[in-house]
Amino acid sequence: MKHRILIILATALAVLCLSSTAMAHKVNIFAYSENGVVYAEGYFPDGRPVVEGDIEVLDSKGQKLLSGKTNKEGFFSFQTLVNDDLTIVINASMGHRAQFILRKNELE
């Protein structure tokens, strides 16, 4: 019985360790629009900004509208280009990637 409990505890510990490692490699992006400008922020789960992360802005058909890099605070902004859904993609170091869809009804 003790052997079985040790196996269960060891398995639970391994799962916890693996999940925290996966979270450490995640990247997030958030975007919003205000007065004709779209603001995007890239950050890691621990709050660190994505510095010089590659940004691509795509229309609803997947066509690239523009690209750029986040600044040292993890921010990127641009003038609203079209009245369409926008997909904002961030590529951070070591292949970490995330996207945020900003719907056309959210563009101001």
Indicate the helix (H) or strand (E) that contains 41: strand 37-43
Angstrom distances, CA of residue 1 to CA of 5, 6, 63, 91: 6, 9, 60, 48
Domains and CATH numbers, the chain: 27-106 (2.60.40.10)
Q: Which amino acid, residue 84?
A: D
Among candidates 73, 77, 76, 84, which has minimal Cα distance to 107? 84
User: pTM (2 decimals)?
Assistant: 0.75
105: CB partners within 8 A, 6+ apart: none
Per-residue pLDDT of the chain (108 residues; tens, 9 = 90+): 555 544 554 455 555 544 434 444 699 999 999 999 999 999 999 999 999 999 999 999 999 999 999 999 999 999 998 999 999 999 998 889 999 999 999 998
pLDDT for the residue numbered 14: 53
